[in-house]
Structure 1
Amino acid sequence: MSNLVLLHEEDGVTTITLNRPEQVNALNEEMLNVLATKLKEASENDSKIIVLQGNGKAFSAGGDLNMIASADNDNAFSDIMNIIEQIVLTLYQMPKITIAALNGSAAGLGLSLALGCDYVLAKSDAKIAMNFIGIGLIPDGAGHFMMQQRVGTVRAKHLIWEGKKLEANEAKGIGLIDFVITSDLDQSVKQYTDKLKNSPILAMIQTKTIYHQQQLDELKSILAAETTAQTAMRKTNDHHEGVDAFLNKRQPDFKWE
């Protein structure tokens, strides 16, 4: 199998590593398929703790622009959105405690996945952004749901609309990050997983299950709405203008069409 996503299980902890560092772990279709497989494997193994991290200088820059551009018909795009939905639902229903460890930037779909974890830990120099708006798109990967869960509807709307890049401490201040790490991230994650190992983790997982089962229908509804809306947004001139502006490093000129 592809090594775009790595899985390592040791002493009750499964570590899943996004492994496309040369492309800042941008998620293409192959990588999404492998991630879906690895998450399913992790959900069924004996570990009670899952760590999701990125190899290299970033957690994930989000969805690969080449993947978005190459999905040139609704069926191809639907396949991609179905994979993303599978990943989100597997992660959300994981009967484990999940930790996202952000060693660098987490943007777009990458941020949606990080926020899908129970805890988000980030290096002090990490930056996050729900930045779909810059290319005329909306959040996917349940970004709407995850942002609303953490910061409320009004603030989630504003953050999505602005696409603002947030420093780690600023993100912690509004609840998008749980812990800012000023020392070695790997060591800090290990300290936290060691703490969890000495906790009544079965009771913790039951509390998670109660909350997540109650909200599962809402999550599925938002995922379906994101697919419908994203399919429509991909066909707008604003989206094509946003992508061209991004690739050519200029300000976009959106026309609302």
Structure 2
Amino acid sequence: MYETIQLIKEGRVGHLLLNRPKSMNAMNGLMMKELADCFETLLQDNTLQVLIVRGEGRAFSAGGDIKEMMDPEQPMDIDTVMKDVSRLAKALYTLPQITIAAIHGASAGLGFSIALACDHIIAEENSKLAMNFIGIGLVPDGGGHFFLKERVGIPKAKQIIWAGQTLKAHDAMAKGLVDEVTAEGRALEHAEAYAEEMLASPLRAKLASKHALHQLKIEELDKVLDMEAAAQSAMRKSKDHLEGIQAFVEKRKPEFTGK
């Protein structure tokens, strides 16, 4: 059904796999569209009560696919892509399931935004978490501003966005960005244990609380997604972004000028 992701249902628990392992699950235009479509389908799914989001292969997700961003023959249509990114973020945030991110390897850029949108975040101790858009002159998308601010507040969210640094799991937990740190290779096991714990609890009541708390914020999330889309479209045309991408490809330090 999908080319870049896989949805597996096991009773009341669903597993959503980001499935481009050769690219460290970097998100190309198709993956963003398929994620948006899949999450929107799950909005109507009454059979699943818990959803575990994880990555196939060596990483959760390395973020947006820079190779596709730079492809001169088929340049990424940023406005179309941002519509899909906004759809996936809103649908994920409003899912009528308890969502668990099970992170191993890298969770960067949009991959980190998706993890932050989940209700419970589990990261293996050697995983690398980064809101690293700033490194190529872009702003967080996928609701990254909103989800960061919800977890840590505005002043800390700004610091994390502006620094763009890569955090190990324990550092991320100290900042309030993840809920649980596990040993290497154990994130999925812990996610499944948490799912079982949820299934054995008064889950309808928990989901009703999630619904009440999240519905309060939908209007704000919509505004943030609109602003992110407009800002990303503008930043994609900036000199700093072009320099950031070029420096990334040439494996050198970028020289930004604020333009």
TM-score (norm: length of structure 2): 0.95
Change (3 A) 1:71 1:29: farther
- Taking the aligned partners of 2:240 and 2:60, their CA distance within structure 1 comes to 28
Q: Which residue of 2 aligns with 1:191?
A: 193
Task: Read off the aligned partner of 1:29 and give its amino acid letter.
Answer: G
Structure 2: unaligned runs, 5 residues or longer: none
Query: Is 1:232 the counterpart of 2:237 in the alignment?
Result: no
Q: Which residue of 2 aligns with 1:154?
A: 155
Q: Which residue of 2 aligns with 1:207?
A: 209
- Taking the aligned partners of 1:49 and 1:132, their CA distance within structure 2 comes to 30
Deviation at 1:73, TM superposition (A): 11
Q: Which residue of 1 aligns with 2:82?
A: 81
Change (3 A) 1:7 1:135: same
Deviation at 1:70, TM superposition (A): 4.7
Deviation at 1:185, TM superposition (A): 2.2
Contact residue 74 and residue 231 of structure 1 kept, 8 A: no
Q: Which residue of 1 aligns with 2:19?
A: 19
Deviation at 1:74, TM superposition (A): 11
- Taking the aligned partners of 1:201 and 1:74, their CA distance within structure 2 comes to 45
Q: Which residue of 2 aligns with 1:139?
A: 140
Q: Any runs of at least 4 consecutive aligned residues in structure 1 with deviations exceeding 3 A, and if so which?
A: 69-75
Contact residue 136 and residue 233 of structure 1 kept, 8 A: yes
Aligned residues: 257
- Taking the aligned partners of 1:74 and 1:244, their CA distance within structure 2 comes to 15
Q: Which residue of 2 aligns with 1:31?
A: 31
Structure 1: unaligned runs, 5 residues or longer: none
Percentage of identical aligned residues: 39
Q: Which residue of 1 aligns with 2:258?
A: 256
Contact residue 71 and residue 77 of structure 1 kept, 8 A: no
Equivalent positions of 1:84-95 (< 5 A) are 84-95=85-96
Q: Which residue of 2 aligns with 1:40?
A: 40
- Taking the aligned partners of 1:195 and 1:185, their CA distance within structure 2 comes to 15
- Taking the aligned partners of 1:67 and 1:177, their CA distance within structure 2 comes to 29
- Taking the aligned partners of 2:52 and 2:113, their CA distance within structure 1 comes to 15
Deviation at 1:9, TM superposition (A): 0.3
Q: Deviations over 1:14-48 (max 9, x none)?
A: 10000001100000011112212222233322110
